[in-house]
Each structure stands twice: as structure tokens, then as C-alpha cells.
């Protein structure tokens, strides 16, 4: 069972729920509730602020933070650094291939320049995450979101990073509430 779920059930004196409904059901319910709440909060904030605080790679990050909190890829450090690398690599790739003023690949079509930008961004993201010992697989999607022109403006990318930080803070709060020794910055062990 997820350490987070077990810790929360213990903290709120509810371990009988696991006996009554089963571990798989309770783990699924926990994943459902955290996924729903984390993305609903970010989506509501996006609507209220009219800013891009919701994007596809936030979902897998939320899943990692709440389902495998002790895995290094789920640590706050790796989550923030990984997405930051993805954003920077994606933007650098847009600049390199002269695509900063172009629309998204899905609207304009895939060109050779877009192929180059996507390939370079994923290569840079993968390499730098490995070199900095900060692997976070959802960052591979983040870099493609930027390099494919879905979020090409630095202001959008700043809000993307704000959303990542907000989600990580939520992960810290929930994991600590569950009694998990969740790191604030160093890699999870």
C-alpha cells in the first residue's frame, strides 16, 4: 500500500477502512481523490487568473508525488529541476530553430524546424536531468509542450513553473501529514 495512504489512515485513525474495503480499493480511492483535488485546484486557479496553470505533464507529476513519494523521481528537487530543465530546453530549441513567433505544431503542421526543435528539446532535457542527477519523467512532456509551440511564451512558462511549485507544495503538505519523511529539497531515498 502507498506509504502516503497508510500514513493518512493511521493519522486519522482509519485503518479499518482498508480491512473493510481492501487495500486496492483504498489506494485507488486515494489516487482518485488526490488527482481530482490537485488538478481541480490548479484548473480553478487557471480560470480565476486566466493564466496557464494547467498543462498535461502536471498530471503525471501529481501521480508520482502521491503514489510513489519516496521515489527519487518524485522528490520536490527532481520535480522542480526536471520541469525547469524541460522549460529551458524547450524554449532554447524554439529560439534555435526560429519558432518563437510561430503557432503550435498542431495548428501549423509539423515542419522540419519543428522536428529539430522537438528532438533537441527532448535530448537536452534528458541529458541535463541525467547530468544533474534530477530525473523526472514528466519533464519530457513539458519540454515537448514548449518546443511544439503549445506554451511558447516565457510568461506562459513562468506560470507553468509556478504550477509545478504549487503542486510540489501540496505534495509536501500531504506527504508530511501522512507522516512520511518527505524531503524538502534533497533526493528522496
Give tens-digit pLDDT for 27-65: 777 778 888 888 898 899 899 988 888 899 999 999 998
Does any domain span residue 189? no
pLDDT value of residue 34: 80
Cα distance between residue 143 and residue 58, in whole Å: 12
26 or 92: whose pLDDT is higher? 92
Question: How confident is residue 185, by pLDDT bands cut at 50, 70 and 90?
Answer: confident
> Which of 27 and 170 is assigned the larger pLDDT?
170
Range name among 15-19, 41-45, 99-103 with the lowest pLDDT average: 15-19
Domain limits at 74?
A: 3-177
- The values of phi and psi at residue 57, to 5°, are -75, -5
Residue 183 within a domain: no
For residue 11, the model assigns a pLDDT of: 62
Least confident range of 30-34, 95-99, 112-116, 184-188? 184-188
Identify the pLDDT of residue 70: 83
If one counts the domains in the chain, the total is 1
For 66, what's the count of Cα atoms within 13 Å in the CB-facing half-sphere?
A: 27
**Most confidently modeled range among 45-59, 100-114, 174-188:** 100-114
Residue 183 in this model has a pLDDT that exceeds 90: no
Q: How many CB atoms lie within 10 A of CB 118?
A: 21
Following DSSP, what letter does each residue of 129-186 receive, concatenated? Answer: HHHTT---THHHHHHHHHHTTSS-SHHHHHHHHHHHHHHHHHHHHHHHHTT----SSS
Residue 1 binned pLDDT confidence (cut-offs 50, 70, 90): very low
In a domain, 186, yes or no: no
Residue 10's pLDDT band (cuts 50, 70, 90): low
Whether 25 has a pLDDT exceeding 50, the answer reads: yes
pLDDT at 136 over 60: yes
Domain presence at residue 187: no
- 189 or 49: whose pLDDT is higher? 49
Find the mean pLDDT for residues 106-125: 96
Q: Is residue 185 part of a domain?
A: no
Average pLDDT over residues 127-150: 97
Q: Is residue 182 part of a domain?
A: no
104, part of any domain: yes
Handedness of CA 154, 102, 144, 120 (dihedral sign): negative
Cell of 187: 533526493
| Cβ neighbours for 81, distance < 8 A, ≥ 6 positions apart | 129, 132, 134, 136
Within a domain: 184: no
Amino acid at each position: 500500500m502507498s506509504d502516503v495512504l497508510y500514513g493518512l489512515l493511521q493519522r486519522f485513525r482509519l485503518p479499518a477502512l482498508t480491512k473493510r474495503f481492501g487495500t486496492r480499493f483504498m489506494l485507488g480511492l486515494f489516487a482518485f481523490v488526490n488527482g481530482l483535488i490537485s488538478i481541480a485546484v490548479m484548473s480553478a486557479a487557471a480560470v480565476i487568473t486566466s493564466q496557464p496553470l494547467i498543462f498535461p505533464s502536471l498530471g503525471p507529476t501529481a501521480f508520482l508525488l502521491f503514489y510513489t513519494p519516496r521515489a527519487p523521481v518524485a522528490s520536490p528537487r527532481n520535480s522542480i529541476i526536471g520541469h525547469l530543465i524541460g522549460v529551458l530546453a524547450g524554449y532554447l530549441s524554439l529560439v534555435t530553430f526560429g519558432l518563437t513567433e510561430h503557432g503550435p505544431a498542431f495548428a501549423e503542421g509539423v515542419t522540419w524546424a519543428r522536428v529539430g526543435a522537438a528532438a533537441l528539446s527532448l535530448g537536452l532535457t534528458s541529458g541535463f536531468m541525467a547530468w544533474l542527477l534530477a530525473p523526472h519523467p514528466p519533464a519530457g512532456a513539458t519540454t515537448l509542450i514548449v518546443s511544439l509551440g503549445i506554451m511558447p511564451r516565457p510568461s506562459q512558462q513562468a506560470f507553468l513553473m509556478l504550477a509545478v511549485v504549487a503542486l510540489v507544495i501540496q505534495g509536501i503538505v500531504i506527504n508530511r501529514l501522512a507522516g512520511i519523511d518527505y524531503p524538502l529539497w534533497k533526493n528522496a531515498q
